[in-house]
Structures are given as C-alpha cells and as structure tokens.
Amino acid sequence: MSLPSDFLWGFATAAYQIEGAVEQDGRAPTIWDTFCNRPGKIADGSSGTTACDSYNRTADDIALLKSLGATAYRFSLSWTRIIPLGGRNDPVNQPGLDHYVRFVHDLLAAGITPFVTLLHWDVPDELDKRYGGLLDKTEFGLDFEHYARVCFRAMPEVKHWATFNEPWCSAVLGYNVGQFAPGRTSDRAKSSEGDGTTEPWIAAHTLLVAHGRAVKSYRDEFKAAAQGEIGIVLNGDAVFPWDPADPRDVEACERKIEFAISWFADPIYKGDYPESMKRQLGSRLPAFTPEEAALVHGSNDFYGMNHYTANYVKNRPGTPDPEDVAGHLDVLFYNKRGFCIGEETQSPWLRPCAAGFRDLMVWISKRYNYPKIYITENGTSVKGENDLPMEKILDDDFRVRYYNDYVRAMATTVSLDGVDVRGYFAWSLMDNFEWAEGYETRFGVCYVDYDNGQKRFPKKSARFLGPLFDKLIRKEGQ
C-alpha cells in the first residue's frame, strides 16, 4: 500500500469561509454576504465578515502550512475582490488581484503548490441582481469566462486550476432547498422567489457551460505556456443498498450517484446527461446545443473529488415528486437489518465510512475511463466539538481516526484497484465559517479562537497527517 513519489497533499479552504475583510481593498458583496444578512438563514446569525481574517494573515497561513509539512494548498479566489461587480465590462480591482498574485508567489517560495478554485459558491451579488446569476446561461457564461481569463493571465505560475466547487450544492441547495445562497426555493415560507422544479437544472446547466467556456479559454490561450491543468470539483457520497437482495435498491444506488455526480461528470466525460435523469425529469432537464456539448465534452484535465460520507439507499415506489432532486429514493443511515453506516458527527449529513470511499473511487474510475483524480476535499466534524474546552478540542482523536481510515483506503485503492489519485486535500486547514451552520460546526485540523483575534492552534489531526503521508508516499528510486 503506497502512493506515487510525486503525490501532493495538503489542506483546502474557501475564500468566503476564511478571508473576512469583506469591505477591504475594494471587495464588493457576494450572494453569500447578502444571504447572511437575511434573518434566520445562518444557524448562529453569523456571517463571513471577519471569519478567520485570512485575507490579512496570508503569511501566518503559509507558515502554518509549512509547519504541518503540506506540499500543496487548495484555496479559492473571491471573484468580487478581482472584479467587484463581476461583469465582463466592469472594472478590474487591481489591489484585490495583486493580493492573490502575491499569495501565489509566496506559496511557491515556501515550496507549497497552489491549487486554485475560481468560484467556491460566492457569485458576485451584482450579477445575481443584474440578470439572475446562474439562471442566465449566456450572460453568466460570458462573465465567468472573462473573470477566469483575468486570473489565468495574472497568475501563470499556477499549474492547477478548478473552475467550480461542487456545482451540485450551488444548484440544489441554492435553487431547490433554499439552504444556501441565493436561497431560492418553491417553499414560500423560506423564500418569496424560486421554482425548485426547474431552477436547479437550469443553474447546473449554466455552470457546466461556463466551465466549458473557461476551460476552452485556458487551453486556447494559456495552457501551452503555463504547462498547467484545469478541471471541475464534484461532490458525491458513497452508497450501499438498503436491502442488497432487492434489485430495486441496488438500481437506486446507481441512480443516486448519477443524480449527484453523473449529472455533471457524464456531460464532461460522455457528452450528455445520464438517461436516468432524462427519464425522470423530461423537458425540465435542459438539452445541450451542439455548441454547448462541444464546449463541455472533454473539458476536464483531472477529476476533482470531494467526499465525506456514505448512505444506505432505498428505492421509493410511486411517481417522483416534481421537487425531487435525488432520483426518487430514500437516503438512510441504517439498512434493512438495522446496521448503522457510521458514527454520528456534528454534521447531520455526515457519518464516517471509509469502505464507501474506496468503492466510490473505483465507481468513478470505471465509469470515466480511469481519469486522473485529486481528492480535493475530505474530512469530518466532531460531535459536540464546539462545546468543549480548547484543550479537549485540540485532542481530536475522532478526526485522527477518520483521516487514518480514509487516507489508507485511498492508498489501498491506488495500489490494488488501479485508481489514479495524484493528490489529497484535507478539509479544512482551520475551523471556519461553515455556511448555513455558521461557526457552530468545526471542520479544521487547526482550532481558531474566534474570541481572541482568530489565533490558530494545531489539533492532533494537524500533526498526524504529515507522518502518515511520509509513510505512504514512495521515496524517489523506490
């Protein structure tokens, strides 16, 4: 069990979750700034206004990464720091762009490889107001392509780009459930606007076409000189049938992954949406024009895989609800025999199951002809962690066990199953603004003391990963 000698590992973060400084150096609001200002949307009534203050602590964060032995760092850019109003005819904010140029330079000087995500959910608020953001395929695609080109031109040293983080979350949680910005949903108790039967499919289609546009721009204008790569980051959970003897539950497992992962990966690797989605959604699922299909098909140099948990899946009889986004099935933590998939965490959706991680890596590899994979996020919250005294939070044995099991499962599938994994990023470098859960949930390997100047303190898990990867990564010549 081993990993390649050039295997990269490190930690991941996202701009809105850690940067703070929301009005500093010309930054303008994102849809998350606006969403957080709406009462009742964030569990503790908080926002990313200060977060971890990482915008003003880049040197501290680089020193922290270096001290933990990380060889790579995945982070996202804030579009509204670079183009505050977001549009292709709007001015570029040089101080914001210069900030990221310096940060990339400083990371490289410290021997840390930057993996840069162009958009991690924080769409410019002005674009949402101007034309509905992700609901306007043409305008958003052109604006995102322009923004991407500005970044590619300014940071040629970056060799690893991701267009979007978890488009499933943007589409489903933002336009169906209403739990994430911009908070649109058919549920009028939650939002006065939105149609959960159509908008998630429109938003996802917009993201795919915009991804294709940015990739084409990179390949046409920048890739040869930069010698870099570009892809998209997709989330997805592992699945097991609620009743393995029931072929309907077995088939529902396949459908569950298709509605979560293949919704985006099939158009990229196969040229169109999965048949299961077409059957259930009919005309509500947008069709690719020939031009769009040409942009999207083949538009990944690598597969960015975010993964945390697993579920038992049970087929649901009857006719699908028009609001359904999962594939007309039940997602459960207990199977027919009463076995639980894993221990509770602070996150109601997350229970550890490292065996599922291996299964899903194999599933993705087989379906998409063994692409190069980066594990762009993997990690866990700990039940009750935020209520513990700091010394107990730092002693996070539960998270240590999680990482040990998951990283070893990854090394096993590389060694035995032929899965081509090239890098791994633990989520997250530090505790941060956990979206709708505010600061009540901590995912960091480093504790952030929000009450005392956002100081960082490495937990046991932070010190654990370096020696683990040192054991697993083959040395040159081995």
pLDDT per residue as tens digits for the range 99-140: 999 999 999 999 999 999 999 999 999 999 999 999 999 999
Backbone angles phi, psi at 329, to 5 degrees: -160, 170
The yes-or-no answer on residue 166 being catalytic is yes
Q: Is the pLDDT of residue 60 over 90?
A: yes
How far apart (Å, rounded) are the C-alpha atoms in residues 191 and 453? 35
CATH architecture of 8-472: Alpha-Beta Barrel (3.20)
Instruction: Classify 432 as helix, strand or coil.
Output: coil
> Considering the chain, what percentage of its residues have pLDDT values greater than 70?
100
pLDDT per residue as tens digits for the range 254-271: 999 999 999 999 999 999
Predicted confidence band of residue 420 (pLDDT cuts 50, 70, 90)? very high
User: Long-range contacts made by residues 330-334, C-beta under 8 angstroms, separation at least 24?
Assistant: 330/242, 331/256, 332/242
DSSP code for 189: T
Predicted confidence band of residue 476 (pLDDT cuts 50, 70, 90)? confident
Residue 48: the pLDDT is 98
Residue 478: the pLDDT is 66
How far apart (Å, rounded) are the C-alpha atoms in residues 435 and 32? 9
pLDDT per residue as tens digits for the range 176-190: 999 999 999 999 999
Retrieve residue 398's tokens. 């539960």
Residue 329: the pLDDT is 98
Mean pLDDT, all residues of the chain: 98
Residues 52, 56, 62, CA angle at the centre, nearest 5°?
80
Backbone angles phi, psi at 340, to 5 degrees: -95, 140
Find out whether 275 and 289 touch, Cβ atoms under 8 Å: no
Pick the catalytic residue: 19, 126, 166, 437?
A: 166
Return the H-helix or E-strand segment holding 65.
helix 58-68
Name the more confident of 330 and 478.
330
Retrieve residue 48's tokens. 């990313």
Q: Is the pLDDT of residue 477 over 80?
A: no
Look at phi and psi of residue 418 and say left if phi exceeds 0, alpha if psi is from -120 to 50, else beta. Answer: left
Give the residue-averaged pLDDT of 396-405. Answer: 98
Find out whether 425 and 115 touch, Cβ atoms under 8 Å: yes
Query: Does the global pTM surpass 0.75?
Result: yes
How far apart (Å, rounded) are the C-alpha atoms in residues 230 and 300? 6
Instruction: Classify 143 as helix, strand or coil.
Output: helix
For 92-119, letters b (16+ CB in 10 Å) and e give: ebeebbebbbebbeebeeeebbbbbbbb
CA–CA distance from 243 to each of 46, 250, 297 (Å)? 42, 8, 36
Find out whether 406 and 468 touch, Cβ atoms under 8 Å: no
Those residues with Cβ within 8 angstroms of residue 152's Cβ, 6 or more apart along the chain or in another chain:
161, 217, 218, 221, 222, 226
What crossing angle do the helices spanning 137-154 and 94-109 adopt, rounded to 10°? Answer: 50
pLDDT per residue as tens digits for the range 13-28: 999 999 999 999 999 9
pLDDT per residue as tens digits for the range 340-381: 999 999 999 999 999 999 999 999 999 999 999 999 999 999
Site of tokens 């960015």: 304
Find out whether 98 and 167 touch, Cβ atoms under 8 Å: no
> Considering the chain, what percentage of its residues have pLDDT values greater than 90?
99
Residues 241, 243, 244, CA angle at the centre, nearest 5°?
65
Pick the catalytic residue: 145, 377, 385, 437?
A: 377
